[in-house]
Every structure is written in structure tokens, then in C-alpha cells.
Amino acid sequence: MSSVVLITGAATGIGNLTARALAAAGHTVYASMRSVRGRNAGHAEELLRLGRREGHDIRVVELDVQSDASAEAAVATILEDAGRLDTVVHNAGHLYVGYVEAFTPEDVHRLLDVNVVGIQRVNRAVLPHMRSRRSGTLLYVGSTTSVVVPPFLGPYVASKFAADALAQVTAYEVGRFGIGTTIVMPGPFTQGTEHFPNAGHAGDAARTSAYAALDPMVARNEKATEALFPPGVDAHPRAVADEIARIIALPAGSRPFRTVVDFSQAGVEEVNEVLRRAQEQFVTRLGFGELLHVEGTQS
């Protein structure tokens, strides 16, 4: 069954690849991005041309996750245009690379505003509609960094931890209204996205220079990451888009709460399973076991 899907941060990278994969699968895709008529005009037109050429239903909508008004307007546009919104793919995000001490409080605040508060803005815009229909899916593009905690990405890792926690607790509550949740956890990728080339850096140059002894480690970080991939494996983020398409194609009630797409063999699946069992036991002992299931899909 085809769905109406909103994807945040669809100009490039995983969001762009996901828009293409979902449209090819027959879904109505609203690829959202900032500056549709400005700096992202080329990306927007490329997606629209693809839709026309391949007969896919790709539409572009302006959405800045740092603006309440923008999130509300984007969702209102989709509902007026399509009449419903079935799935939100929370993909928009930014990367910071550097030494934690050198990031100013303002640096960290900006990153959290995009990677965490941005999710909350979009959820607040879409959840009234999903609650009224008692159906829908919130799909979050998380990160294995919230398990393995790599160095030199401190504020980014903190933001992914926070986003993951927000997604989990939101899932308890919206599940009572028939709304499902999936957290897709990509591992590291060194090709196919603009994440690292467009990464932000610490605002305090003096504090950065104090850590100069660690600069050689930062310089070899990309090669060190690539060395984790098995020989001959095509570690490309299109695998994340394909996994998202697979999940959305599953019937409601059968979608996994978490799934990992990781070519670095970091063992995240094993950690997730231990955490799942502990969490389920704890919530059940609290007497809130019904919050572990989506209303209407499981007994």
C-alpha cells in the first residue's frame, strides 16, 4: 500500500536517497529542505525532474526544522495537497567535528536546535493529524554513535543520544494513539553524503589549538573508519534508504522498533538487544507494560 511520506533534510545524502527510493516504490514523497528557491533550488529541481522522467510522485516542500512556523506550514501544505500524512522520516541533521572543550555553548545550542529540537518541531506539527486518524509512523534516522561513542564528535554524539531518547519516550505516548515508531541507526559512511564535507567546527580557535597534539588522530579518522569495512563491501548510504523503504513497506504492527545499517561491524545490534530487554523489564515492572505496544496492532 502506498503512503504519503514527509522526509526532512532531503536536499542531499540519506534524505535525498530515501526520497528517490520511496518514490520508486510507489509512495507519494514530500522531499523537504530549506531554501527551495535559493541555495537548494538545484537539488529541488533535480528531484522534480526525476519524478517527471520516471513517473514517480516526488514533490518538494519548504521546511526549516529550526522554525516552528516553517514546520507547521509544511505539514499544512501536505495535508491540503494530499489529504493525509502517513509517515514522517526525521532525517535532517548536522555534523560537528572537533574537540569538545573548543565548542562554545552557542555552538552546542545551534546543533541541538537542528538535531533535537527540530524533531520536536516537526512532531508537534504532524502529531495532531496522526492522533486524530489513530495511525501513522514516525521514523527516525538515528546513529550508531549513540552506542559506540566515537571520539572527536562530542556535540554531535550528544545530540544523537538526546534525539534517540526523545524518540523512545515519544513512542510510549503516541503508541496509545496507533502511531508506530522505528529508529534506523546508520553506521559511519565516508562516501555518498555531504555530512563530513559540510561538517561544522568548534568556534573557539584558541581552545582547538590547545589540543593540537591530537590533530594527527583527527586527520586519519576517515581512513581509520574505512579500515573497519570488510574488504569488497560497498559501504554506501543508499543501503539506509533501501532499509527505510523496506520498513515502510511492512504492514503496520510488524515494523521493527530499531534496525541497524552498519558496515563497520561495531556490534550495535547486540547492545540494542540487551538494552531492549532491560527497558521492557523495567517499564513492565513499573506497571506500564501496555506502553511497549502500539494500540490496535498487538494484543
Backbone angles phi, psi at 88, to 5 degrees: -115, 125
CB distance 244 to 21 below 8 Å: yes
* Catalytic hit among 30, 140, 156, 211: 156
Whether 140 sits among the annotated catalytic residues: the reply is no
Strands 179-186 and 87-90, sheet pairing: unpaired
Q: How many CB atoms lie within 10 A of CB 198?
A: 11
Residues 6+ apart with CB under 8 A from 48: 58, 59, 60
Residues 6+ apart with CB under 8 A from 287: none
Q: What is the DSSP code string of 70-90?
A: HHHHHHHHHHHHHS---EEEE
Backbone angles phi, psi at 141, to 5 degrees: -90, 100
User: Which residues are registered as beta bridge partners of 186?
Assistant: 261
CA pair distance 95, 186, nearest whole angstrom: 14
Q: Return the active site residues.
A: 156
